[in-house]
Amino acid sequence: MSTTIPTPADVFRRQAHPLIAPGPHDPAADGPFRALYERGITGSRMIRNTKLVALTLASHADWATGRIPQDVQPYLAGLVQETALTTGQVVVSLQILEDRGWISRPSRRVRWDDAPIGLTIPAPILRRLRKAHRQD
């Protein structure tokens, strides 16, 4: 039985799976964004430090929309202080969260010291959370 190994061109041609939510969040149908976010984070297989950083970010967010207002953005220094983790641990956790689609910043060129952070939910997780919410 022969198997084919994909070439880099084959991988490039594959359609990317969207990481951001599959449609706008509807609090009436989906429930509060922050509740979905926290349920998704606590149910994930990420390490404790990363979950701690994510939940600390969520504590600053609006319950219904999940947006973190500019005046309460914790930035890197605030996250280090609130979580009692080292700066390196927080930076690694933020990078993991961004790579997996749990947070966003305006540009990857903006350092975590100055970047306003937004909460996002990866599309496959949001679909699963929506389905579970509707069954409750």
Question: 82 exposed, middle or buried (CB, 10 Å; 0-12, 13-18, 19+)?
Answer: middle
The residue that leads in pLDDT, 133 or 8, is 8
d(CA 53, CA 37) in angstroms, rounded, equals 13
The residue that leads in pLDDT, 129 or 29, is 129
Asked if pLDDT for residue 87 goes beyond 90, the answer is: yes
The confidence score (pLDDT) of residue 124 equals: 81
The confidence score (pLDDT) of residue 21 equals: 47
List strand residue ranges (DSSP E) for 32-119, in order.
103-104, 118-119
pTM assigned to the model? 0.76
List strand residue ranges (DSSP E) for 80-129, in order.
103-104, 118-119
CATH numbers and ranges of domains, the chain: 21-134 (1.10.10.10)
The confidence score (pLDDT) of residue 25 equals: 53
Asked if pLDDT for residue 19 goes beyond 70, the answer is: no
